[in-house]
A and B are shown apart, each in its own frame.
Chain A
Amino acid sequence: MNINSCLKKIILNKKKIFTLLLIILSTNLSCNFEKKDIPREILYWSSNNNEEISFARFITNEWNKRNLELKVHFQPVPEGQSSEEIILAAVVGKTTPDVYSNMWQGDVETYAQAGVLVALDTLNGFIQFLNERCDSWTVKEVTSKDGHIYQIPWKINPIMMIYNKKILKELGLTSPPQTYSEFLEAAKRFKKDNNNDGYTDQWIGYTEVHTTWWQRLFDFYPLYLAASNGASLIQNDKAVFNNVHALQVFEFLRELYKKEYFPKERISARQDPFLSSTIATRFTGPWEISHAEKFKPTDFEYSFQTMPVPNEHSGPIFTYGDPKNIIVFKSSVDPNKILKFLKYFLSEENDLKLIEMTNQLPRRKNIDKNPVFANYFTKNPLMLRFAHQANYVKGTDVSVILKEVFDIISQEYEACVIYGVKTPKEALKDAERAVNLLFIK
């Protein structure tokens, strides 16, 4: 049989094919109608790192044992370049879960304004629950521009300064450097050309020189929050970071690069520079503890300190908390029932499980004084430092263009701090102008 006769046969039978298609379509539609009547489980997506997967599995298993009428199905966020990308794809493809627990706070406003999130403050008992968990500062921080709250603060990883105890002792320091002057003095003492080739081989610290916007969350931003007692970068759709605090931070960091106290080259690709004593300090989070414990050489001692601050600084020292929060998508069937699950999820006992299983801090007020966590902190004294710091952390400002703001700051940071082609005043002024232009658009 040749192709032509085959095609002719198909055309002659087109009525039959049409009837068959109609049957398939109607069967599919009826199946879909049937599916709607079945009460479905809550679909919960967690982060896809191993510790959080174990934690999420534990939580859902425990919940499902106790709540037969409302089952929760857990799965890690599907693999992708980043979880943010996957969430975006899910929103566009209308395949969002009911609950997602690893949302970067800075992204929430975009989704809230797109109308895909449940305003949690409209649910019965939510505000009372949130006020019991968080202080008013945190509640204000997570309140959206429209006055609603679309996220529940879940966990934080405050950025602090890790330091090598032995090196600082050898430098003659009795305590880790806290002010800019102390830090610069320690840097001067530690900088060294070990092999006399004319190039520095050891530096006081290191931050990524890459201009990717989020790198500034781990150097400029925590230093800015520390210097300014937690001030905003943007407020009421206007840049407010061109101030004395940002100026001091830029000047401080610029000095570190200019005097080669920080390397301009990327040294993160080789052996861990902190554990190999190539650098004496680093701005980092509590995740560093498990890494250091696993890979540190024998006799290596380290601890954590609040971020360096200007000499005249007074008051508590803030930092960036790297907050990850919980959101509920509008595609969920019954947000009120989901809130019941979330209250269980965020209970004190489960927050204790979180910190025990993942070494990440739950974002709840006075965690360092809460007796529920006391035993954990006794066993993990370094985590207690982060718990103290947790009283003075800030997340991000509420804005849909937050990434662009950080990108602009990062561009100016590179020009001023790393390459010194702009003065701190010029860089901040240019960044302010560029950010305000974004708001006008």
Chain B
Amino acid sequence: MKRKTFIPYLLVSPYVVHFIVFVAFPVIFSIFLTFHDWNIIAPMRYVGLSNYIRLFNDTIFIKSLLNTLIFLAIHIPLQIISALVIAEILNQNIKLRGFFRATFFMPVIVSGVVVTILWQQLYGFETGLLNRVFIQLGFGKVGWLTDPSIAMPSIALMATWKNVGLYIVLFLVGLQTVPAHYYEAADLEGANHFQKFIKITLPLINPTIFMVVILSTIGGFSLFIEPYVMTGGGPLNSTISAMLYIYKQGFFYYHMGYAATLGFFFALLILTVIMIQKRYVEKDR
């Protein structure tokens, strides 16, 4: 009897061990760290709530949160609109449809660092392709990554280009689940393409849109590689994201306690935003 009860525990033990080592322990340890000052090599020092007090007075962290929100405000609508429009086109019976679908998906499978370096070259002030085109067209050069008011939109544009393929696929799946007879009925009523899109397509792919919003939000909150490689958070901290700032605190300055506090606070913030989004969409349904 005893042996029989032991076996199920043995079978689930790999997952339990994995969960304890890689999830439970790090979470509990990071919460513990938030009350300490620790630079990895020296012993930990208990500091009470001072990391939390510091967090609310840290102007760069507040700026990094605002930057992340600016990024999300540009990136999410841009992502949804461009993915939806392209998916709608690719859902039609056009020539070379397979080729275009594969082409749009290509950036998704390319390494983020590679894409970032590529766009860094495109955005170059002196030698970048974009500015060369602008000069040819008679415009002035743009400080894509060096003008504090343009740098974050430039990063958002690049991130959209990198990820749009994934969302095109999701929207294509959503579009193909819309029953064809709805469109046939609308055709009989004399609806044009735009009316069909607004009245039929959009309401019926609402769950896909919600999923894309959630995924884009989570992806946007974890913005790191792009500013890390392209701008280092500059100019004037205009592209420093919350994740980049947490990384800097943890692995540049080895303020592990403070970095854990920032991470903990940021995780709560993401959770709150996702919960609000979820409640809003559920109410809408």
Q: Which residues of A contact B (CB under 8 A)?
A: 4, 7-8, 11, 88, 91-92, 110-111, 113-116, 197-199, 209-213, 263-267, 269-270, 400, 403-404, 407, 411, 414-415, 418-419, 421, 441
Q: Report A293 CB to chain B, min CB distance, Å.
A: 26
Q: Main SS of the interface on chain B?
A: loop
B250 at the interface (CB under 8 A from A): no
**B41 A267 Cβ-Cβ under 8 A:** no
Q: List 22 A-B contacts (CB under 8 A).
A: A4-B7, A8-B3, A91-B40, A91-B41, A92-B41, A114-B41, A199-B126, A199-B141, A209-B146, A209-B234, A209-B235, A210-B234, A212-B232, A213-B252, A264-B146, A265-B126, A266-B146, A270-B127, A403-B253, A407-B252, A414-B236, A421-B236
In the bound complex, residues from chain A placing their C-beta under 8 Å from that of B41 are 88, 91-92, 110-111, 114, 116
Name which residue of chain A comes closest to B135, CB basis. Answer: A197
Q: What separation, in Å, do the CA atoms of A213 and B39 have in the docked complex?
A: 18
**B234 A211 Cβ-Cβ under 8 A:** yes
B185 at the interface (CB under 8 A from A): no
Q: Report A18 CB to chain B, min CB distance, Å.
A: 16
Q: Report B17 CB to chain A, min CB distance, Å.
A: 17
In the bound complex, residues from chain A placing their C-beta under 8 Å from that of B146 are 209, 264-266
- The 8 Å CB contact of B235, one of A115, A212, A419, is A419
Chain B 245-281 interface mask (CB, 8 Å, partner A; 1/0): 0000000111000000000000000000000000000
In the bound complex, residues from chain B placing their C-beta under 8 Å from that of A419 are 148, 235-236
Name which residue of chain A comes closest to B7, CB basis. Answer: A7
| A110-B39, A265-B146 known; A415-B236 Cβ under 8 A | yes
How many positions in chain B have a CB within 8 Å of any CB in the partner chain?
Answer: 31
**B40 A414 Cβ-Cβ under 8 A:** no
Name which residue of chain B comes closest to A201, CB basis. Answer: B126
Q: What separation, in Å, do the CA atoms of A267 and B143 have in the docked complex?
A: 13
In the bound complex, residues from chain B placing their C-beta under 8 Å from that of A403 are 252-253
Q: Which residues of B contact A (CB under 8 A)?
A: 3, 6-7, 10, 39-42, 50, 54, 120-121, 124-127, 135, 140-141, 143, 146, 148, 232-237, 252-254
In the bound complex, residues from chain B placing their C-beta under 8 Å from that of A4 are 7
**B232 A211 Cβ-Cβ under 8 A:** yes
- The 8 Å CB contact of A267, one of B126, B233, B237, is B126
In the bound complex, residues from chain A placing their C-beta under 8 Å from that of B3 are 8, 11
Q: What separation, in Å, do the CA atoms of A419 and B148 have in the docked complex?
A: 9
In the bound complex, residues from chain B placing their C-beta under 8 Å from that of A213 are 252
Interface contact tally, CB-CB below 8 A? 71
Name which residue of chain B comes closest to A85, CB basis. Answer: B251
**B126 A270 Cβ-Cβ under 8 A:** yes
Q: Report B225 CB to chain A, min CB distance, Å.
A: 15
Q: Report A234 CB to chain B, min CB distance, Å.
A: 16
Q: What separation, in Å, do the CA atoms of A210 and B232 have in the docked complex?
A: 7
Q: What separation, in Å, do the CA atoms of A414 and B237 have in the docked complex?
A: 10
Name which residue of chain A comes closest to B127, CB basis. Answer: A270
Q: What separation, in Å, do the CA atoms of A11 and B124 have in the docked complex?
A: 66
- The 8 Å CB contact of B42, one of A113, A265, A269, A404, is A113
Q: Report A266 CB to chain B, min CB distance, Å.
A: 8
Q: Report A440 CB to chain B, min CB distance, Å.
A: 11
Name which residue of chain A comes closest to B233, CB basis. Answer: A211
Q: What separation, in Å, do the CA atoms of A411 and B39 have in the docked complex?
A: 22
Q: What separation, in Å, do the CA atoms of A267 and B140 have in the docked complex?
A: 19
In the bound complex, residues from chain B placing their C-beta under 8 Å from that of A116 are 41
In the bound complex, residues from chain B placing their C-beta under 8 Å from that of A92 are 40-41
| A110-B39, A403-B253 known; A418-B235 Cβ under 8 A | yes
- The 8 Å CB contact of B54, one of A88, A111, A407, A441, is A441
Q: What separation, in Å, do the CA atoms of A116 and B237 have in the docked complex?
A: 35
Q: Report A386 CB to chain B, min CB distance, Å.
A: 30
Which 7 A-B pairs give the minimum distances between C-beta atoms? A265-B125, A114-B41, A114-B42, A211-B234, A91-B41, A210-B232, A92-B40
In the bound complex, residues from chain A placing their C-beta under 8 Å from that of B10 are 7
Q: What separation, in Å, do the CA atoms of A4 and B11 have in the docked complex?
A: 10
Q: What separation, in Å, do the CA atoms of A263 and B39 have in the docked complex?
A: 37
In the bound complex, residues from chain B placing their C-beta under 8 Å from that of A113 are 42
In the bound complex, residues from chain A placing their C-beta under 8 Å from that of B148 are 419
Q: Report B99 CB to chain A, min CB distance, Å.
A: 33
Q: Report A256 CB to chain B, min CB distance, Å.
A: 16
Q: What separation, in Å, do the CA atoms of A212 and B227 have in the docked complex?
A: 13
